[in-house]
């Protein structure tokens, strides 16, 4: 299905508003079409009427001007207002619907999509490209029809005045059709290329603005300026290619538009000299040439706008067509009353089809309320395991079950609702502390938020802030320390109160004092919950019921801290090295 047909699905619910807008527009554009007729009537039927006295001429002129004043001063302004209002309301409501659809789609896309796509490029499509498609509604579904109807009405009026002069007036119309066919196919491709180049600039800019501390700390300002210049130059080149082709288009179109009135003036003068064409008719025809060719100019300009909007549609629907890697089965049931028995049964996993396996035949049986620590060297597969449990990715082979239910057979959202996660770098939104804690339960009362903060040892530092729980934390929580951000993230999980808990390097980025305080909080959080802990610092997981050592995607050792130390294997060596470092 073409982009236009797909876009019309969003337009269809507002078809009656568009029809009313077009009908009002016909009246709005139709009133000025009376102006050349008024000129003709004044010249031929009032000024040129030799049988009328001066007072009669003035009387008719005043009556005519009174009627014209009513049409142009009293009737046309409210018509113009309602046309503009309905057109803008409809266009913006369609964009509202598309952005809602896109945002819902973005929330369902897998983490794999976001790992390969720049945030700025996604934002460019949702904001810039969607905004560009509005021109299809405003121009393609409203203004083009109005301009075409205006041209048709003007030509009909001209035919009633003089057939041959009308033929001369429209003689160059076929050249317009040829020019449109010649120029506008390539313009769509150039527009799409320009939009893609702009998205690359926005994506790079978004990433580099977030990374300003890195740029400053490594004194990379000159290097980054060069990198930005490359992308900016690419956009400039694509914009110039688009501009050059657009300029050629308008040069040809405007030449045709300028030649047509000259032909009419020449032939009208000839007919006025050699036949009975009145001066009023000649003046009216010249007036109607503006009424015909001004809409025609707009149609040509509209063609450019439409090409740009269709190119943006293509980019919007490319994003909408991104497949969901994780999809619920048609008969998937919600996961309820979770106790916390998690089982990995011969699980293997790779991120991409052509890549090597990251996990190889991993089996693990975790009982309700058990605390499992996953340790090992970086890249061994620990974080992959805990990404599979909430079904951020689906296993390549094998099976993961919760309380005996294969997680692929239940609704993914209901599964994640039963899992609380505290990560090494928890993202906080640039709103209040209370709002960030409420991410665990948006319906929670103020008292519940405070209780969760107290449980996370966060209440004390929050109350010391200038605005307490209403303090804005800045983008990604920039106004808080690492330990404070972690406690806010832990408070979220306390508020959510899930039966399953995942802690991924939750203390590795903290100083020893903050780590000790947060470790106590995490121990309290993990109590009576099935808990998975990923940790590099082995001293923080010695209390775990079982420690799983994963290397190269396989479980190589398993047991309690005491058992593994007695075996004096890989875990023992890692622990000894860390103790020496400490």
Smallest CA-to-CA distance from 542 within 555, 521, 559 is with 559
Q: Count other C-beta atoms under 10 Å from residue 9's C-beta.
A: 10
Angle between helices 446-455 and 482-496 (to 10 degrees): 120
DSSP string, 503-523: EESTTTTS-HHHHHHHHHHHH
Q: Phi/psi at 381 (nearest 5 deg)?
A: 125, 5
Residue 580 burial by Cβ neighbours in a 10 Å radius (0-12, 13-18, 19+): exposed
Smallest CA-to-CA distance from 421 within 383, 454, 451 is with 383
- The b-or-e profile of 130-154 (16+ CB within 10 A means b, else e) is bebbbbbbbbbbbbbbbbebbbebb
Smallest CA-to-CA distance from 381 within 400, 360, 352 is with 360
Smallest CA-to-CA distance from 366 within 358, 376, 374, 378 is with 374
DSSP string, 216-269: HHTT-HHHHHHHHHHHHHHHHHHHHHHHHHHHHHHHHHHHHHHHHHHHHHHHHH
Kindly state the tokens that stand for 227: 């990198």
Smallest CA-to-CA distance from 346 within 355, 328, 359 is with 359
Report pLDDT for 28. 78
State how beta strands 500-504 and 419-423 pair.
Answer: parallel
- DSSP code for 399: E
What span, in angstroms and rounded, lies between the C-alpha atoms of 202 and 207? 9
CA 163 to chain centre: 53
Report pLDDT for 281. 79
Q: Count other C-beta atoms under 10 Å from residue 278's C-beta.
A: 17
Residue appearing with tokens 């600039």: 201
Report pLDDT for 517. 64
Report pLDDT for 506. 63
Query: How are strands ordered across the β-sheet holding 530-534?
Result: 419-423, 500-504, 530-534, 371-375, 546-551, 554-559
Quickly count helices (H) and strands (E) in the chain: 23, 10
Q: What is the pLDDT along the chain (582 residues), one digit of tens a residue?
A: 578 888 888 888 888 888 888 888 888 777 777 777 777 777 777 777 777 777 777 877 788 788 878 877 788 888 888 888 888 888 888 889 988 888 888 888 777 777 777 777 788 788 888 888 887 887 777 777 777 888 888 888 888 888 888 888 777 778 777 776 777 667 767 877 887 788 788 777 777 776 776 676 667 778 778 888 888 888 888 888 888 887 877 777 777 777 777 787 788 788 778 777 777 877 787 777 777 777 777 776 676 677 778 878 888 888 888 887 778 888 888 888 888 888 999 989 888 777 788 888 888 898 988 888 888 887 788 888 888 888 888 888 899 998 888 888 888 888 888 888 887 777 777 788 888 888 888 888 888 888 888 887 788 888 888 888 888 877 666 677 777 888 888 888 888 888 888 888 766 555 555 556 666 777 777 777 888 888 777 777 888 888 888 888 888 888 888 888 888 888 888 888 776 554
Smallest CA-to-CA distance from 418 within 338, 322, 342 is with 338
- DSSP code for 487: H
- The b-or-e profile of 526-535 (16+ CB within 10 A means b, else e) is beebbbbbbb
Residue 109 burial by Cβ neighbours in a 10 Å radius (0-12, 13-18, 19+): middle
Kindly state the tokens that stand for 361: 């035949």
DSSP string, 77-144: HHHHHHHHHHHHHHHHHHHHHHHHHHHHHHHHS-HHHHHHS-HHHHHHIIIIIHHHHHHIIIIIIIIH
Q: Please enumerate in sequence order all residues whose Cβ is within 8 A of that of 40, keeping only pairs 6 or more positions apart, or say none.
A: 161, 278, 280, 281, 283, 284
Q: What is the CA radius of gyration of the chain?
A: 36
């Amino acid at each position: 299905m073409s982009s236009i047909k797909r876009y019309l699905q969003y337009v269809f619910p507002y078809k009656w508003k568009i029809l009313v807008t077009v009908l009002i527009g016909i009246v709005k554009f139709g009133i000025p079409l009376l102006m050349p007729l008024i000129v003709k009537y004044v010249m031929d039927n009032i000024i040129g009427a030799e049988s009328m006295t001066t007072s009669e001429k003035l009387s008719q002129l005043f009556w005519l001007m009174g009627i014209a004043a009513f049409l142009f001063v009293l009737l046309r302004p409210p018509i113009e207002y309602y046309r503009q209002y309905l057109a803008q309301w409809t266009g913006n409501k369609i964009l509202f619907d598309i952005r809602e659809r896109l945002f819902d789609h973005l929330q369902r896309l897998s983490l794999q999509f976001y790992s390969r796509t720049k945030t700025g490029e996604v934002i460019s499509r949702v904001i810039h490209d969607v905004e560009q498609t509005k021109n299809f509604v405003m121009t393609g579904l409203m203004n083009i029809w109005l301009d075409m109807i205006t041209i048709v009405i003007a030509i009909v009026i001209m035919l009633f005045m003089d057939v041959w002069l009308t033929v001369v007036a429209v003689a160059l119309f076929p050249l317009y059709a040829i020019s449109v066919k010649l120029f506008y196919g390539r313009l769509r491709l150039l527009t799409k290329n320009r939009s893609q180049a702009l998205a690359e600039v926005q994506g790079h800019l978004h990433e580099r603005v977030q990374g300003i501390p890195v740029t400053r700390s490594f004194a990379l300002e000159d290097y980054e300026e060069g990198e930005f210049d490359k992308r900016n130059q690419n956009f400039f080149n694509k914009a110039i290619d688009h501009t050059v082709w657009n300029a050629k288009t308008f040069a040809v179109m405007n030449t045709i538009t300028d030649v047509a009135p000259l032909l009419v003036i020449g032939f009208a003068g000839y007919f006025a000299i050699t036949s009975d064409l009145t001066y009023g008719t000649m003046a009216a025809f010249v007036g109607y040439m503006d009424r015909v060719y001004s809409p025609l100019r707009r149609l040509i300009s509209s063609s450019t706008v439409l090409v740009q909007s269709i190119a943006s549609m293509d980019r919007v629907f490319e994003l909408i067509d991104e497949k969901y890697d994780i999809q619920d089965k048609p008969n998937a049931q919600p996961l309820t009353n979770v106790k916390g028995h998690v089982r990995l049964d011969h699980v293997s996993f790779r991120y991409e089809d052509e890549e090597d396996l990251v996990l190889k035949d991993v089996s693990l049986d975790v009982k309700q309320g058990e605390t499992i620590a996953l340790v090992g060297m970086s890249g061994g597969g620990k974080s992959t395991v805990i990404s599979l449990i909430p079904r951020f990715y689906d296993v390549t082979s094998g099976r993961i079950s919760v309380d005996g239910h294969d997680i692929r057979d239940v609704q993914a959202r209901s599964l994640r609702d039963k899992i609380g996660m505290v990560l090494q770098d928890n993202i906080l939104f640039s709103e209040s502390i209370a709002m960030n804690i409420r991410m665990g339960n948006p319906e929670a009362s103020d008292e519940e938020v405070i209780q969760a903060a107290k449980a996370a040892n966060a209440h004390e530092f929050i109350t010391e802030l200038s605005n307490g729980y209403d303090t804005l934390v800045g983008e990604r929580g920039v106004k808080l320390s690492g330990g404070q951000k972690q406690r806010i993230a832990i408070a979220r999980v306390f508020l959510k109160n899930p039966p399953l808990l995942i802690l991924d390097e939750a203390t590795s980025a903290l100083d020893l004092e903050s780590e000790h305080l947060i470790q106590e909080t995490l121990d309290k959080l993990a109590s009576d919950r099935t808990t998975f802990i990923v940790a590099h610092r082995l001293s923080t997981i010695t209390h775990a019921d079982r420690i799983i050592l994963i290397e190269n995607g396989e479980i190589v050792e398993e047991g309690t801290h005491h058992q593994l130390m007695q075996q004096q294997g890989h875990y023992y060596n890692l622990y000894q090295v860390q103790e020496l470092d400490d």
